[in-house]
A = this chain, B = another copy of it.
Amino acid sequence: MRRIKLIIEYDGTNYNGSQIQTNGHTIQEELQQCIERLTGEKVSVLFAGRTDTGVHALRQVVAFDTGSTIPPERWQYALNSVLPDDIKVLQSTEAEAGFHPRFDAVSKTYRYKIYRKPWGQTFWRNYAYLCTEELDVEAMGQAARRLEGTHDFRSFCASGSSVKNFERTVLSCRLVEAEPFLYLDITANGFLYNMVRIIMGTLLEVGRGSLAPEDMDRILTARDRSLAGPTAPPQGLYLMEVHYPEKQPLGK
């Protein structure tokens, strides 16, 4: 048996998220079916980050164990020959036996895309949040940077989440203007459920003037979801990159 690590991209529009569930078609299900088609093996594919319905990934990291003789670097071509064209393997390599895409990751980067022009929207409706309102981008950028650092992010976590520890370290939270887009780029050691989308929804409130940048401190301290803004829609969200230590930890 060896463990294969894949870097994959996918257009999440037509999927009910990344993880297998009772109802609906998922990225994990599609990958596992394709691996079974190639090898006859029923495998369980591990993901670095879970993505919701409609959320995209540019460099998601996944892994699985196989007894197949397919050389590690050939898995890319083998899988691409059977995967639908909205999922693509960008790289395949052999990982250490104990490699876990999620637990071994030190941080992940997400981008939230806002499309700001009144034309061209039909082409971005599934790939960005369409917003032509005037926004105070300067204030949004200031608000974003107030989230950097180690905080209790309970206010930015969907209610009903089962996690116990809401403390996360946001390494970078920046707004990037790239006409006709506005990006929120956020890197953290971990993310709570819907965290990026709630941060984006809250920053939009700042952009509209309903909240001031300083309000972010108050919202963080309150640890109360109802004080943050609404959850921005899924189609603007992209898992961009999963970061690992320079050397994979031994053993584990």
Residues of A within 8 A of B (CB): 9-11, 56, 58, 85-88, 90, 118-123, 125, 127
Contacts and interface: CB of A to CB of B under 8 A. Distances in A.
Contacts of A121: 9, 88
A118 B7 CA distance: 13
Given A11-B122, A56-B123, 10 more contacts: A9-B119, A9-B121, A10-B122, A11-B125, A58-B119, A58-B120, A85-B125, A86-B125, A87-B122, A88-B121
Question: Chain A contact residues: over half helix, strand or loop, or mixed?
Answer: mixed
A123 B125 CA distance: 12
Contact of A88 (B9, B85, B122): B122
B119 A127 contact: no
A123 B11 contact: yes
A86 B10 CA distance: 21
A3 to B, nearest CB: 23
A9 B122 contact: yes
Contacts of A86: 122, 125
B122 A85 contact: yes
A120 B11 CA distance: 9
A127 B123 contact: yes
A178 to B, nearest CB: 14
Contacts of A119: 9, 58, 90
22 contacts: A9-B119, A9-B120, A9-B121, A9-B122, A9-B123, A10-B122, A11-B122, A11-B123, A11-B125, A56-B123, A58-B119, A58-B120, A85-B122, A85-B125, A86-B122, A86-B125, A87-B122, A88-B121, A88-B122, A90-B118, A90-B119, A123-B127
